[in-house]
C-alpha cells in the first residue's frame, strides 16, 4: 500500500544520506529528558551578509583568530530536538528543499535516529527566516510534521503575517516574507501563539530575544534541576557574535535591538552556567559559553 509516509521516505535517497553522514550531532541529558541537535545541513553566505556594518580592520583581527574568511561563510544549521518520554519537540524545521541545495536534511537526520515526521508532537519556532521555517511543508504542500502542534511567538507571527511586511522589509528579504507567509497560511487555523516568559510546554519557557527578527524567541528547557538555553539565531555565530557582541550585524533585521538581546542571553548563559544550543554554532551547535581574555568564547561539546 502506498502511504503518505512511504512516499516521503522514498525521497530520502542513499546518495543524499551518504553525502551527509552526521545526522545526530550532539546529545545532552536534562533530568529524564534529552536534547539532541540534528543537522539540516549548512548555508553558504557572502561574508558581508554579517560583516558589512563592522569595522574592517578590527574584524580582520577577530576572524584571523578563528580562521574564518571575510568573503565566504558556511555556517551549520542545527535543529534542536527535545524528548522527555512524552513529547517529541522540534525547535524549527530547517530549510526544506526550496531554499538552498546545501540544506534541507532534517528528515534524513531524524530518520537516522529512528524518528519519522509523525513522531514529532510539537514544532516550536524561534523565528520565521527561511532556514528555520521553509521546511514546514512536504512535497504535497502540506505540513510535513502532520501530527505536530505548531507554536510561534505572537509578535513573530504578527510581523510575518502582516500584509505590510512584504512592502516594508528590505528588498533583498522580500522572498523571505513571501515564503514565510505562504507556509504560515497552511497552519493559520491551528497554530498556538505565545508571549515572552511563558511556559509553553512542561519545562519549556520562552525568552524574547528580538532583533534578529521582530519577535525572535529563545527557549529555556528545564527538567528537574538541569536546564539549557536554545538561542536560535540570537547568538548567530561563534566568532564576532561572542568576541564582539556589541557590534551590529548585517544578518539582523534590527541590529541595535539584536545587540541588546545577544548581550542579555550571553550574560544569563554565563552567569547561570547554562549549556547552549545555537542553530548556527559549530560542531553540532551544542556546548557552553565562557568568558575569555578577549571576550566570550564558545566551547563545543564541553557541557
pLDDT at 297: 96
Number of domains the chain contains = 1
Q: Which residue has the cell 508571549?
A: 195
Give the mean pLDDT of the chain.
Answer: 91
pLDDT at 302: 64
> pTM, whole model, 2 decimals?
0.91
Ramachandran assignment for 7, one of left (phi > 0), alpha (psi -120 to 50 degrees), beta (any other) = alpha
Q: Which residue range is the domain that position 188 belongs to? A: 4-300
Integer-rounded Cα radius of gyration of the chain: 18
Which CA distances in Å does 108 have to 10, 104, 141, 167, 172?
11, 9, 19, 36, 30
**How far is residue 154's CA from residue 131's CA, in Å, rounded to a whole number?**
20
**77 backbone dihedrals φ, ψ, rounded to 5°:** -120, 105
**How far is residue 196's CA from residue 245's CA, in Å, rounded to a whole number?**
22
Per-residue confidence band for 292, with pLDDT thresholds at 50, 70 and 90: confident
List pLDDT tens digits, range 1-60: 222 233 233 232 222 333 344 455 679 999 999 999 999 999 999 999 999 999 999 999
Beta carbons within 8 Å of 284's beta carbon, 6+ residues apart: 22, 25, 26, 37, 39, 76, 78, 300, 301
Side-chain half-sphere of 212: how many Cα atoms within 13 Å? 25
Where residue 22 sits, what CATH number does that domain have?
Answer: 3.60.15.10
List pLDDT tens digits, range 120-167: 999 999 999 999 999 999 989 999 999 999 999 999 999 999 999 999
List pLDDT tens digits, range 264-276: 999 999 999 999 9
pLDDT at 117: 98
Residues 52/251, Cβ–Cβ less than 8 Å: no
**How far is residue 107's CA from residue 114's CA, in Å, rounded to a whole number?**
10
**How far is residue 299's CA from residue 293's CA, in Å, rounded to a whole number?**
14
List pLDDT tens digits, range 187-242: 999 999 999 999 999 999 999 999 999 999 999 999 999 999 999 999 999 999 99
Amino acid at each position: 500500500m502506498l502511504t503518505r509516509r512511504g512516499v516521503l521516505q522514498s525521497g530520502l535517497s542513499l546518495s543524499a544520506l551518504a553525502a551527509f553522514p552526521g545526522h545526530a550531532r550532539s546529545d545532552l541529558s536534562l533530568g529524564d529528558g534529552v536534547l539532541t541537535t540534528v543537522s539540516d545541513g549548512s548555508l553558504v553566505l557572502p561574508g558581508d551578509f554579517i560583516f558589512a556594518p563592522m569595522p574592517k580592520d578590527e574584524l580582520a583581527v577577530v576572524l584571523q583568530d578563528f580562521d574564518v574568511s571575510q568573503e565566504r561563510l558556511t555556517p551549520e544549521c542545527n535543529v534542536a530536538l527535545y524528548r522527555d518520554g512524552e513529547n517529541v519537540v522540534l525547535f524549527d524545521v530547517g530549510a526544506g528543499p526550496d531554499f538552498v541545495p546545501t540544506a534541507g536534511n532534517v528528515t534524513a537526520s531524524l530518520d537516522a535516529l529512528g524518528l519519522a515526521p509523525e513522531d514529532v508532537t510539537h514544532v516550536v519556532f524561534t523565528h520565521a527566516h527561511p532556514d528555520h521555517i521553509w521546511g514546514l511543508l512536504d512535497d504535497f504542500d502540506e505540513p510535513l510534521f502532520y501530527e505536530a502542534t505548531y507554536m510561534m511567538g505572537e509578535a513573530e507571527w504578527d510581523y510575518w503575517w502582516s500584509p505590510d511586511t512584504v512592502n516594508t522589509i528590505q528588498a533583498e528579504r522580500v522572498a523571505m516574507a513571501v515564503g514565510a507567509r505562504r507556509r504560515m497560511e497552511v497552519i493559520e487555523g491551528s497554530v498556538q501563539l505565545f508571549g515572552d516568559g511563558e511556559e509553553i510546554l512542561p519545562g519549556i519557557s520562552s525568552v524574547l530575544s528580538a532583533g534578529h527578527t521582530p519577535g525572535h524567541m529563545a527557549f529555556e528547557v528545564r527538567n528537574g534541576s538541569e536546564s539549557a538555553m536554545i538561542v536560535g539565531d540570537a547568538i548567530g555565530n561563534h566568532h564576532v557574535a561572542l568576541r564582539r557582541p556589541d557590534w551590529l550585524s548585517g544578518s539582523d533585521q534590527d541590529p541595535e535591538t539584536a545587540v541588546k538581546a545577544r548581550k542579555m542571553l550571553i550574560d544569563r548563559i554565563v552567569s547561570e552556567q547554562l549549556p547552549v544550543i545555537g542553530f548556527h554554532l559549530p560542531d553540532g551547535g551544542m556546548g557552553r559559553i565562557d568568558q575569555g581574555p578577549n571576550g566570550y568564547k564558545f566551547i563545543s561539546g564541553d557541557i
